[in-house]
Amino acid sequence: MAFPDIQSFMRLLEQRGELVRVTAPVSRELEITEIADRMVKKGGPALLFENVVGSDYPVAIGLLGTKERVALALGVTDLDDLAAKVRNLIDLSGGGSKLGLLSNVTKLRDAMNLPPRRVRNAPVQQVVWRGDEVDLARIPVLKCWPLDGGPFVTLPLVITNDPETGERNMGMYRVQVMSRNTTGMHWQRHKTGTKHLEKAKKLGQRLEVAVAIGGDPALIYAATAPLPPVPGLDEFALAGYLRGQRYPVTRGITVSLDVPANAEFVLEGYVDPAEDWVMEGPFGDHTGFYTLPDLYPRFHVTAVTMREQPVYPATIVGRPPMEDAFLIEASERLFLPAAQLIIPEIVDYHMPPAGVAHNLVFVSIKKSYPGQAYKVANGLFGLGQMMFAKVIVVVDEDVTVTDFGAVWQEVTQKAVPGRDTLTTRGPIDVLDHSSRGWGYGGKLIIDATTKRPEEVGSGASSRDDQAGDLAPETFTPAARTDLPAFDGVLAQRQTADGYWLVALDKTRPGQARDLAAAFAAHPAAQGIRHLLIADDQTDVHNIQDVWWTILNNIDAERDVWVQGGLLAWDGAKKLPEEGFVREWPPKIVMDQAIVDRVDALWHVYGLPEQWR
């Protein structure tokens, strides 16, 4: 089912009881975030705030806040259906015959070269602000978190053309409002927008930019998708393929760019590569930590176009689970067949919310020879944005990768620390605050598959011991309650599957290393394989919170090591005295005054207690 625009999708959600209108006045500064955050974490409906203080336009948020709503938005009954659609495209069942290959070339051409459809009368250009009329403060852009540097557009579809080839790109890069007609443009070093700006600089020209807000949900998803660099495949083509029809676009008013005709708002303008960059941030990011201020290009807005009665769609990112987790899952399903085409032994993979996409990947494989887990993991590191993955855990084909607990049980049962763990280095997401350098750091592979004789040091051969005859090694975990004391340990517990969880108030360099040495030598370490040292704000009784903190706070090569029989993970804060030269960011926490205000006004918003 193709939706003409975001408002038609909202109407369907309301008919299904999955969108609630809030008519009470609300503030775009923090208050909407606190309400929406509670709603998405409890699987509640989307929200339409009709009375936003200081703006004439309503705010819609949480539209893609469940797996089911994302599937509905993309026209499928289940996200696994996305994999089926792509698998049909790349099905090589025709074999190597000329007819079979021609069939696949034709299907790929139809999907990848589905050009947008140009229209003259675009709803998004019903109202136009030009020049001095432009005032971004009139649009209800949210300030999401207390330490944010200002209001940020959180669902922007940023459109540029390659200055040399004219190739189109659309990406979702956060946009901080700086003044009535300027914003920051958060183009990271690996992003296509950065490459376009660098080319414009070499040519000595400005780079035209359009920022669309809205469109139909398939386009919003497409802007987040990690598309491979295939000629003819861009975000408009992907959206067209998902919706089954060419995407409607129109030419901008003050820029020569195609913009989605069915958007709610479009900001038109330019970035001048000769201009000094502006300090952007902080921003409460999808990692659950603040991204600290840094220099980024300035976007000058020359015009704003919109519908006569637009809705401002927004999202929030922060501590998982958040709405972006469901978009990530859609990308998992969509690109699984392509990954399997390149690495055919992959059965399934999953990026759990605790890993905020790039920090943790579970992958199950059909294993047939020793070392295959490392072959697969290294192959994944070479696939597009999977290069940012920090920890990859490889399990056998019968393990359900979406079962978080089951995977970690496999790790303690089948991965011996040191023998079945391997660190390496590579590109890291520039938003990662703990890596050894900006965009560069350590990675960890954990082989939690059933081992072949060669992998355990046996003289036997896999040719003699076939897969069906392999007997998995046994490890008997044991949890104790009489745990040792150590300076700075605020809380600790052991789990029945072999993990020792610690919340550490770190005040001196080397404290985590000393703790690991002391705990590994203690009798309580018997029956434990992993020592997870988290920071002082971590709830050791919440395993998701522990892993989220650990994965954010480690450089795998520096902070994960074998201590006795344990694999120690140092997820505590890193100190300058330890050679960490960058500033350590805070975790995102809402102001208590806002929490109390939302509690007091919950009945005024008209929202049921179950989502409070």
Active site residues: 285
Longest Cα–Cα distance of the chain, Å, equals 79
Give the CA-trace dihedral at 20, 21, 27, 30, to 10 degrees: 10
Residue 271 pairs in a beta bridge with 207, 299
**Beta-strand relationship, 391-396 and 360-365:** parallel
d(CA 517, CA 135): 59
Q: What is the DSSP-derived secondary structure letter of residue 123?
A: G
d(CA 242, CA 325): 19
Helix (H) or strand (E) holding 445: strand 440-448
Question: Using CB atoms within 10 A of its CB, is residue 10 exposed (0-12), middle (13-18) or buried (19+)?
Answer: buried
Among residues 391, 408, 359, 389, the alpha carbon closest in space to that of 543 is found at: 408
Residue 323 token pair: 């709405």
The CA–CA distances, whole Å, from 44 to 18, 35, 611 equal 8, 11, 6
Among residues 263, 261, 219, 211, the alpha carbon closest in space to that of 73 is found at: 219
Mapped onto helix, strand or coil, the DSSP state of residue 179 is: coil
- DSSP E strand stretches across 366-403: 391-396
The CA–CA distances, whole Å, from 161 to 204, 255, 524 equal 15, 11, 60
Residue 49 pairs in a beta bridge with 22, 59
Among residues 222, 214, 249, 305, the alpha carbon closest in space to that of 10 is found at: 214
d(CA 296, CA 439): 16
